[in-house]
Amino acid sequence: MPNLLLTYKCNRSCPYCFAQERQKAQNPDGDMFLSWPNLVTVVNYIVEDKQDAVPLLGGEPTLHPEFVDIYRYITARNLIVKMFSNGCMSHEKIEALLKVVDPDRSRFIINVNEERDRQSFETKMQAEFFRELGMVSGLSFNLFRPDPEMDFLLDLIGEYQLRPRIRLGLAHPIAGEPNSFLRPADYPDIAARVADFARRANQRDVFLSLDCGFTLCDFTDEQLGILTRAGAALKFNCGPIIDIGPDLSTWACFPLSSLQPQPLEEYPSLKALKAFYGTYINQETEKRRFAGVYKKCATCRHLKRKQCSGGCRSYAFEEKS
């Protein structure tokens, strides 16, 4: 399912930010916001691809001056708005959204940082967002430190009665750009922390989902059992996601956003675009003899059986950083 960026602008400065390369590459004189014709074009592609949702990203998508109208348009076309946001939304825009929000067509995933990584305004603005829109909001948390503290996520869900789901994402290197991310050497400890957190989340009926880039071998059988019993959605593969910028440029995913961006309208379908990126990224990683983030990935039976992709492919291009 492709992601649509409403804008490159953001009101936070997170050290792990995947979008920073695209923000720096953006022409300051160019369009910073998605236009209505481009919105209609992308939604038509999504409908033709028989998808039921439009994932919205940024930057920060709610900074689009017509965000509420965009939300109304997408839901009017009988599609779900799956929005990835930081929840730092103005009071006026929250009030406007509350008048039209459809709980059955809204899936908001709000990215929150630990207190030590927050800017001063985040806690206050997110608290208002959760008070008003908690019924359609779950949480997202990015792992970029080797010592994350995650229990506060469970407290937020309990305090604001949020949807009991937490997306856990790994911060990966961005090809050609410096950013904060976890090294594979940290993965076993992170796997143990995630499993322990899953046990505590399960006690409070909260479900976890692991985003792309996790490696299967870093979890012990016991840890996998804990995650399975806790109902966690596990993901150990890496493939083209497809991000679509406000100008209809596309790229495979944010960590690989500098590699061969393509104009959306040169492709007849999202399926064709995804096939291009799948072939291209495979060719580029094979040139670099990259099988995975570990040497042992080259002979791993789980990789051969396509149970695991060996971690994020952005590591194949890390020498450019």
Report the alpha-carbon distance of residue 158 to residue 86 in Å, rounded: 19
DSSP characters over 72-86? HHHHHTT-EEEEEE-
pLDDT of residue 119: 87
Residue showing tokens 């099988």: 291
pLDDT of residue 177: 62
Residue 280: phi and psi, rounded to 5, are: -65, -50
pLDDT of residue 120: 85
At a CB cut-off of 8 Å and minimum separation 6, what does 276 contact? Answer: 262, 267
- CB of 19 within 8 A of CB of 42? no
pLDDT of residue 175: 62
3-320: in CATH 3.20.20.70: yes
Measure the CA dihedral 140/144/145/148, to 10°: 10
At a CB cut-off of 8 Å and minimum separation 6, what does 283 contact? Answer: none
Sequence ranges of the domains in the chain: 3-320
Report the alpha-carbon distance of residue 170 to residue 313 in Å, rounded: 13
Where are the alpha helices (H) located in 77-184, listed in sequence order? 91-98, 122-133, 151-160
pLDDT of residue 133: 98
- CA-to-CA separations, 110 to 54, 62, 228, 277, in angstroms, rounded: 16, 12, 24, 28
pLDDT of residue 22: 52
- CA nearest 303: which of 217, 233, 186, 177? 217
pLDDT of residue 171: 87
pLDDT in tens, the chain (321 residues): 899 999 999 988 777 766 655 555 555 555 689 999 999 999 999 999 999 999 999 999 999 999 999 999 999 999 999 999 999 999 999 999 999 999 999 999 999 999 999 888 999 999 999 999 999 999 999 999 999 999 999 999 999 999 999 999 998 877 666 667 889 999 999 999 999 999 999 999 999 999 999 999 999 999 999 999 999 999 998 889 999 999 999 999 988 988 899 999 999 999 999 999 999 999 999 999 999 999 999 999 999 999 999 999 988 886 433
Report the alpha-carbon distance of residue 196 to residue 198 in Å, rounded: 5
pLDDT of residue 321: 31
Tokens coding 123: 């806690």
